[in-house]
């Protein structure tokens, strides 16, 4: 992998002002490369000078301008420091968060916004100490993150215990939205009567907002991370390479291949599932390599980029990337880091939702994020399902915890 090229601050500012679109800049005979890293002779250069993304990745990121990508990369690092200071990088618990904290997200300018129930000088100083910078915005909010997380726990418990009730059948997706400081419940049958029944039998809270669901939730079933694989008559995507008990293999979606199922590529069986879970926080399988001619790599499919073995859990508003067999590399923003949905009668919890695009065949595909300051592509998890324009992925930390796997 090539190291990211360093550009003086002044040059970066000039180039940002000269163009607001990623991947386009006017020709200039006096500069060797334009904003997208394309030479004046039309020859592609691997790394974009300003954002640090490769040209391959930028092709799927036209919706984001350069200034936003630069800002949100820095804000994402601040967010990670903030969450780590709460000791909440694993499974989210209501007790992890101070009462003044109401969640955090990256806004449309790429800046870190922190919701606070009380905006005082001492709280601002406390947050500055946690993050190591004052490059964040404070936004007043009504509800603490502890309260919102507790609401999600209550809804998850109801779904698991009352799976066959009519009310449970009417809400199959719900999520904690940091940027809105609320929990949104999506109702298939949206009416005041259904809302009143929910409040009476499940939970009545001012922090819950009700919306009409986008329709049916579908798992997207149709070697490198994101490459095409099959199991039986189903097609999907590879997530990332991993080891279980020292044995090398790959991670993919559990709804693609269950225990003892074979995994194929181009008609050849190369792996067999030895660990599997399709419930709770995980929809994943680990398949150990059975054909020594197949070696799993950390090279992202269709690119020359290396996927880091470091696992991350980015915050709301962070730009993330997905690679799958059907739609290749696509990008979008994180919508929720604590989302639940019911598919085929099974409720899955603590998923991350985002707005990247996908299609059947992308299930199991790798989801990753990019940190420009270190030129690192972090492992986030594997793609699971779609509902309307919202996509869901399973967190790599949850997979490793449930299956006993580890990245390498």
Q: At 224, which CATH number? A: 2.40.10.10
User: Same domain for 200 and 261?
Assistant: no
User: In sequence order, what are the beta bridge partners of 348?
Assistant: 280, 341
* 115 and 169 part of one domain: no
Same domain, 74 and 128: yes
Asked whether residue 134 falls in the same domain as residue 105, the answer is: yes
For residue 30, is it within any domain?
Answer: no
Crossing angle of helices 66-85 and 9-18, in 10° steps, is 120
How far apart are the C-alpha atoms of 398 and 280, rounded to whole Å?
10
Query: Which one of 117, 140, 163 terminates a domain?
Result: 140
Would you state the pLDDT for residue 9?
37
pLDDT band with cut points at 50, 70 and 90 for residue 50: confident
Query: DSSP character for 107?
Result: -
Instruction: Identify the CATH number of the domain in which residue 164 sits.
Output: 3.30.300.50
17 pLDDT higher than 50:
no
Indicate whether 199 and 236 sit together in one domain. Answer: no
> Structure tokens of 223?
């070697």
Mean pLDDT value of segment 141-156:
96
Q: Is residue 281 pLDDT above 60, yes or no?
A: yes
Q: Tell me the residue ranges of DSSP E strands in 178-315.
A: 182-187, 208-212, 218-219, 228-231, 234-237, 240-244, 247-252, 262-265, 268-279, 282-289, 307-311
What per-residue confidence (pLDDT) applies to 62? 85
Is residue 5 very low, low, confident or very high in pLDDT (cuts 50, 70, 90)? very low
Q: Confirm whether 232 is domain-assigned.
A: yes
What pLDDT is attached to residue 217?
84
In a domain, 164, yes or no: yes
* pLDDT for residue 92: 52
**Is 155 within the bounds of a domain?**
yes
What are the b/e assignments for 92-101, b being 16+ CB within 10 Å?
A: bebebbbebb
152 and 180 assigned to the same domain: yes
Burial class, 85, CB count within 10 angstroms (exposed 0-12 / middle 13-18 / buried 19+): middle
Rounded to 5 degrees, φ, ψ at 75 are -65, -35
Q: pLDDT at position 93, please?
A: 65
| Per-residue model confidence (pLDDT) at position 10 | 34
| Residue 116 sits in the same domain as residue 152 | no
Domain end residue (candidates: 289, 306, 330)? 289
Same domain, 127 and 180: no
- Least confident range from 88-92, 253-257, 368-372, 377-381: namely 88-92
For the cut 70, the answer to whether the pLDDT of residue 124 exceeds it is: yes
Domain check: are 122 and 153 in the same one? no
- With 60 as the cut, is the pLDDT of residue 16 above it? no
The closest alpha carbon to 78, from 144, 133, 157, 23, belongs to 133
**Residue 162 placed within a domain:** yes
pLDDT of residue 109: 95
For 187, the domain range is 145-212
For residues 182 and 202, membership in a common domain is answered with: yes
Q: Does residue 398 sit within a domain? A: no
If asked whether residues 125 and 166 sit together in one domain, one would say: no
Mention every residue, 6+ apart, whose C-beta is less than 8 A from residue 173: 186, 213, 217, 339, 340, 341, 342, 387, 390
In this predicted model, which residue has the larger pLDDT, 391 or 223?
391
Q: Is residue 389 part of a domain?
A: no
Q: Is the pLDDT of residue 38 over 90?
A: no
The number of domains in the chain is 3
CA distance 297 to 63: 30
Share of the chain above pLDDT 90, in %: 74
Assess if residue 111 is contained within a domain.
yes
């Amino acid at each position: 992998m090539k190291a990211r090229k360093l550009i003086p601050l002044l040059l970066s500012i000039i180039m940002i002002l000269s163009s607001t679109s990623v991947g386009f800049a006017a020709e200039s005979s006096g500069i060797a490369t334009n904003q997208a890293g394309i030479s004046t002779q039309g020859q592609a250069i691997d790394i974009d000078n300003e954002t640090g993304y490769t040209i391959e990745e930028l092709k799927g990121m036209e919706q984001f301008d350069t200034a936003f990508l630069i800002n949100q990369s820095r804000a994402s690092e601040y967010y990670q420091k903030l969450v780590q200071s709460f000791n909440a990088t694993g499974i989210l618990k209501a007790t992890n968060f101070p009462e003044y904290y109401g969640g955090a997200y990256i806004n449309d300018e790429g800046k870190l916004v922190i919701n606070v129930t009380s905006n005082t000088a001492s709280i601002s100083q406390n947050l500055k100490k946690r993050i190591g910078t004052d490059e964040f915005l404070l936004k007043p909010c009504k509800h603490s993150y502890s309260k919102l997380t507790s609401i999600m726990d209550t809804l998850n418990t109801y779904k698991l215990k009352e799976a066959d009730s009519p009310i449970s059948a009417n809400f199959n997706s719900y999520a904690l939205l940091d940027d809105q400081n609320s929990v949104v419940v999506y109702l298939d049958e949206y009416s005041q009567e259904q809302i009143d029944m929910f409040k009476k039998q499940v939970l009545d809270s001012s922090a819950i907002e009700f919306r009409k669901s986008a329709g049916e939730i579908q798992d997207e079933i149709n070697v490198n991370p994101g490459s095409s694989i099959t199991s039986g008559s189903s097609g999907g995507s590879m997530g990332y390479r991993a080891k279980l008990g020292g044995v090398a293999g790959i991670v993919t979606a559990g709804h693609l291949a269950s225990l003892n199922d074979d995994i194929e590529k181009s008609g050849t069986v190369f792996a067999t599932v030895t660990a599997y879970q399709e419930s709770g926080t995980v929809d994943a399988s680990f398949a150990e390599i059975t054909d020594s001619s197949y070696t799993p790599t950390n090279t992202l499919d269709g690119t020359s980029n290396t996927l880091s073995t470091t696992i991350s859990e980015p915050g709301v508003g962070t730009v993330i990337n997905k690679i799958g067999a059907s739609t290749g590399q696509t990008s979008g923003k994180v919508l929720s880091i604590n989302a639940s949905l019911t598919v085929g009668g099974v409720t899955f919890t603590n998923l991350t939702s985002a707005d990247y695009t996908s299609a059947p065949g992308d299930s199991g595909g790798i989801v990753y994020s990019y940190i420009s300051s270190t030129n690192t592509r972090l492992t986030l998890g594997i793609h699971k399902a779609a509902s309307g324009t919202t996509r869901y992925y399973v967190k790599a930390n949850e997979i490793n915890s449930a299956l006993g796997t580890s990245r390498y």
